[in-house]
Amino acid sequence: MWTSLVFSIAVLLAAGFYIRRIGVNFTLSSLLLGLMLVLHGPLYLYYTRVWGPKTLFFQKILSAAPGGEVIPTLDLALALSFCSVCIGIALSDKVLEISRQQMRDAISNWNLQAVRVSKGFSERLEIIATIGVLVLGFFILSENSVTHVLTYFHTDASELEKIAMRREFGGSRFYLLNLFNSNLFPFLAFCCFAALRERSIWLRPLAWAFIAVVLFEKAATLSKAPLAIFILQLMVIEYLRRSLQIRLAAALGFIAVCVVLFGAMTAIAIREVSGVGETLDFLFYRVFMIVNESLLEYFAAIPSVLPHSWGRQFSWLANILQSESTPPTYLLVGAVHRGVMGSTTTAMFIADAWADFSWAGVLALSLMAGFFVRWLDTELIVKRGKTAATISGLALGHSGVFIMLSTALQTAMVTGGLILVVPLTIAMSCAFKWRPINRYPGSVDNMASLKQA
C-alpha cells in the first residue's frame, strides 16, 4: 500500500537527519529521535505486517474499526510525527541561533572538561539529603512499604495477581509524594551520585542513604521498569562524567546490562516465564512489539469507537469550554479492546495527541516534542557545560523522554520532569561561584561560566 512507501520515506529522511544533524550520543534530542527510529521504524513495519497478523489479539484490535483504514492511518501519523520531530529540532536550533557545528563542538569539548562542582552545590545537597532521608524514611515506615516490596518480589503469584497487588499497594497514597518520586527525588539522587563520584560531598554515608531510599521508592511502585531504569540512569551518570558520545563498546555494554537487568526483573516479577529463551521472547514482545500494538489499539478505537475528545481530557480546558471531562483515554481504549474498564493501554505521545486533537494534535505535539528536547540540550550542554547539576539534569531528561515514548507528552513534562529539568539545574547550581577541579591541565574550558547571584 502507498502509505507503507510514505512511512518508509519518512523513516529514511529521519534517519538521515539523525545521522547528519544529531549523531549517536546522550543528548536528549538524540535519545528521542533515536528511540523513535528503533521502536517505531522498521520494527513497526515488522509488527503490523509480519508479527501482529499471526496473533488473535491483532485481529481483535482491527475488528474495532471495520473500515480497514487503521494501519494506513497509523502509517501516515507516524510518518508525520517523524518529520515533525525533525522539524522541531531544526526549528529550535534556528530560533536559539545554534548551528550544527556549535552543538557538535559542545559535545566534543565535554570530553575534555572536568566536572565542575561548586561548594554551595555540595553544602545544600547535604541539607537536602538529610531532609530527604528523614521524609522518605517516614513514609516508607508509615505505609508499610517494606512488607509490600518483599511480598511482591518473593511471592509466586501470577502476573495478573501481581498487577492487582500493584494497583492496590504500589506507590504512595499521596499524589505529591508519587510525583516527587518520579522527578524531584531522582534528580537529587543523581546529584548525590555525581557529587560522590567527584568526591565533593563531605557526608558521604548520608548521600548513599538518600540514593538507597530513592531506589527503594522505585521498588515500592511494585513494577519492574522503574527500578531497572533508575539503576541504568546511575550508570549513565557515571558515563556522562567522561563523555556524551556513545562508542560502540559502550553501546554494546549498555545493551548487555539492559538485557540482564530487565531479564532479572522479569524472572522475579513474572514466575510464568522461565528459562533464557522464554525470557528473551518476553522481553522482545514487551520492549519492541507491545509499543506498536498499543499504538494500533489507539488508532483502531479512535475515532471508530471513541470520538476525538477535543480537549475534554484536560479538566481545565473542559471548564473553560463548559463541558464535562471524560475518563482517561488509556482506560477507555483498554475497555474497547478488552471489555474491562479497569484495563489500561498506554502508548507513545502521538497516541494521546491523536485521541485529543486528531491530525492537528500529532503535528503540533511532535513539533513541540522535538523543539523542547533540543532546547533542553542547548540549555544544559551548550550554555552551562559539564557540571554535576547539568549531568543530573540530563539524566532526569532521559527518564522524561522514556516516559514520552510510553505515554502522553503532558505526562512526560510533569510526571517525567521534563519541564523541571532547567529550573532544578539552575536551583542547584546558580547561586555560588564555581570552584572547578582541573583534571586536564592545559585544556581549554570554553563552557559558559555562571555568575555569582
DSSP string, 58-123: HHHHHHTSTTS-HHHHHHHHHHHHHHHHHHHHHHHHHHHT--HHHHHHHHHHHTTSPPB--HHHHH
Structural domain boundaries in the chain: 2-112+274-363
- Quote the pLDDT of residue 298: 96
Q: Cell 479492546, residue?
A: 337
CA distance 290 to 284: 9
CA distance 284 to 286: 6
Strand partners, 25: 245
Q: What is the CA radius of gyration of the chain?
A: 22
Q: Summarize pLDDT for 384-427 with one digit per residue, the tens.
A: 999 999 999 999 999 999 999 999 999 999 999 999 999 999 99
Cβ atoms within 10 A of the Cβ of 51, count?
Answer: 18
Q: CB of 81 within 8 A of CB of 350?
A: yes
∠ CA 39-43-48, rounded to 5°? 120
Short-list 29, 27, 14, 101, CA closest to 371:
29
Kindly give the residue spans of alpha helices, DSSP state H, lying in 302-348. Answer: 315-320, 329-338
Within 127-196, strands assigned E span: none
- All residues at 6 or more sequence positions from 231 whose CB lies less than 8 Å from its CB, including other chains: 215, 261
∠ CA 428-232-446, rounded to 5°? 45
CA distance 191 to 182: 15
* Total residues belonging to the chain: 453
The three cell numbers of residue 356 are 485529543
∠ CA 326-328-329, rounded to 5°? 100
Q: Summarize pLDDT for 289-322 with one digit per residue, the tens.
A: 999 999 999 999 999 999 998 877 654 454 444 4
Q: CB of 14 within 8 A of CB of 37?
A: yes
Q: Is the dihedral of CA 217, 220, 221, 225 positive or negative?
A: positive
Question: How many CA atoms are closer than 13 Å to the CA of 430, on its beta-carbon side?
Answer: 11
Please give the biggest Cα pair distance in the chain: 68
pTM higher than the cut 0.85: yes
Helix (H) or strand (E) segment spanning residue 355: helix 349-377
- Quote the pLDDT of residue 313: 64
Spans in the chain with pLDDT lower than 50: 315-316, 318-322, 431-453
